Amino acid sequence: MNKKADKLFSAWQFLIFILVGISIVGIVFIYYGADLDVRDIEVEILNSKLSSCVLDNSYLFFDFVEGKNELDIFKVCNLKQEVFQGDIDFYFKLNFEEGGVSKEIAEGVYTIDADCKIKELVRAENLAVCHETSFSISRGLKKISVTILSASNQRGEKIYD
Amino acid sequence: MLKRGSQIIWPTLISILLSVMFVTTLAFGVMSASHGMIVYEKAYAKQIALLLDKSGAGMEIKLDVEDVLNLAKENDFKSDVFVLDLEKSLVKVQTRELGGYEVYFFTDLEIETFKIVGDKYLEIKIKDE
């Protein structure tokens, strides 16, 4: 009788050990292996940079919408061209609307634009994080509606060499 | 009598030994995970990239990086822990020979200073326009 009870206790003891072990290892991995996702901060910074840029240089954007000049968005807004024209997961789109006519500037990985539309409908963690703001700029009696979409899916890379 | 005694002692001894092994393995695993280099490298690379993205001309940033520098010392890593590649707009953080983490930033900046000061701080100075 005693021997049987001892064996039973031993089996339970090791089962508890295994469960406790799995729980502790799981908690540690969840805590320390956290993804450290900063994409939402990144897109807010990009959005605010572009918004300030449009507001500070509204005369340039007015001329661009009216077709009076070309606009180098990277130079005007202090953004690194190579980053947006490479395969790094950044994207932005500026849409200007004046009296039914619209003009657009879009740079970055274009597929992210579709990600943003999908994310409006469903929750998808692996798709890019998007941020959109709207405001208007005016010159004299003319008013332009501006919509800025910024997005990022940059998670960083491990270096293996 | 002796046979009975050994019958009681051995299972108990094995049980204690296994318990000690279990606790030791668990403690070792938790400790090594909590000192995880990859977490430090990832966190600092992302933090620096965000700081650079947010910063503007003439700004000076001083970031306490003592813990990650100590980690590199523990790993006997002699190269630069923090590397800034302005051509690619890339921040690299490395505390060991094989491995590290890199993150891109998107702001076009002219960096005047990017260096470790006093074995504790990372000093970043952005050129004034």
**pLDDT over threshold 70, residue A158:** yes
Q: Sheet harboring B60-64: ordered strands across?
A: B60-64, B121-126, B111-117
Closest residue by Cα to residue B119 from B52, B67, B57, B77: B67
Mean pLDDT of the residues in chain A: 87
Q: Which residues pair with B102 in a beta bridge?
A: A157, B92
Distances (CA, A) of B102 to A65, B63, B105, B122: 38, 18, 10, 17
Please name the residue that has the structure tokens 């959005």. A47
Residues of A with CB under 8 A from a CB of B: 6, 10, 13-14, 17, 21, 24-25, 28-29, 32-34, 36, 38, 41-42, 45-46, 49, 74, 78-84, 88, 90, 154, 156-161
What pLDDT, in 10s, does the model give residues B64-83? 999 999 999 988 998 999 99
The pLDDT assigned to B32 comes to: 63
CA A45 to chain centre: 10
Distance from CA of B30 to the nearest CA of A (A): 7
Amino acid at A16: I
**pLDDT over threshold 80, residue A11:** no
Domain coverage including residue A61: 39-152
Tokens representing residue A32 in the block: 């320390």
> Using 50, 70 and 90 to split pLDDT, how confident is the model at A1?
very low
Domain check: are A53 and A102 in the same one? yes
Measured distance CA(A79)–CA(A90) in Å, rounded: 12
Global ipTM: 0.79
CA B41 to chain centre: 4
* Contact present, A103 and A65 (Cβ < 8 Å): yes
- Check A159 against B107: CB less than 8 A apart: no
Domain check: are B61 and B109 in the same one? yes
Domain check: are B29 and B85 in the same one? no
Please give the angle made by the CA atoms of B74, B79 and B85, to the nearest 5 degrees.
Answer: 130
> Using 50, 70 and 90 to split pLDDT, how confident is the model at B115?
very high
Domain check: are A78 and A24 in the same one? no
Angle between helices B37-54 and B66-74 (to 10 degrees): 140
What pLDDT, in 10s, does the model give residues B80-107? 999 999 999 999 999 988 888 999 999 9
Domain check: are B121 and B80 in the same one? yes
**pLDDT over threshold 80, residue B118:** yes
Domain check: are B8 and B57 in the same one? no
What pLDDT, in 10s, does the model give residues A13-64? 778 878 888 888 788 777 766 678 899 999 999 999 999 999 999 999 999 9
Mean pLDDT of B58-67: 94
A79: which DSSP letter?
A: B
The pLDDT assigned to A21 comes to: 82
Distance from CA of B43 to the nearest CA of A (A): 7
Q: Between A150 and B129, name the one with better pLDDT.
A: A150
The pLDDT assigned to A101 comes to: 85
- Check A32 against B45: CB less than 8 A apart: no
CA B12 to chain centre: 42
The pLDDT assigned to A14 comes to: 75
Distance from CA of B60 to the nearest CA of A (A): 18
> Using 50, 70 and 90 to split pLDDT, how confident is the model at A148?
very high
Q: Is the minimum CB–CB distance between B104 and chain A shorter than 8 Å?
A: yes
Domain check: are B77 and B102 in the same one? yes
Closest residue by Cα to residue A36 from B19, B35, B79, B42: B42
Q: How many domains does chain B have?
A: 2
- Check B53 against A28: CB less than 8 A apart: no
- Check A36 against B99: CB less than 8 A apart: no
Report percent pLDDT > 70 for chain A: 91
Domain check: are B27 and B43 in the same one? no
SS (H, E, C) chain B: CHHHHHHHHHHHHHHHHHHHHHHHHHHHHHHHHHCCHHHHHHHHHHHHHHHHHHCCCCCEEEEECHHHHHHHHHCCCCCCCEEEECCCCEEEECCCCCCCEEEECCECCCEEEEEEECCCEEEEEECCC
- pTM, entire model: 0.78
What pLDDT, in 10s, does the model give residues A88-112? 899 999 999 988 889 999 999 999 9
Angle between helices B37-54 and A39-56 (to 10 degrees): 10
Q: How many domains does chain A have?
A: 2
> Using 50, 70 and 90 to split pLDDT, how confident is the model at A6?
low
Domain check: are B10 and B64 in the same one? no
**pLDDT over threshold 60, residue A2:** no
- Check A159 against B22: CB less than 8 A apart: no
The pLDDT assigned to A130 comes to: 95
Exposed/middle/buried for A107, CB within 10 Å: 0-12, 13-18, 19+? Answer: middle
- For residue A107, what is the enclosing H or E element? strand A101-108
**pLDDT over threshold 60, residue A9:** no
- Domain contains A71: yes
- Check A157 against B101: CB less than 8 A apart: yes
- Check B42 against A156: CB less than 8 A apart: yes
Of A13, A41, A88, the CB nearest to B104: A88
Domain coverage including residue B14: 1-34
Domain check: are B100 and B41 in the same one? yes
Tokens representing residue B7 in the block: 């019958």
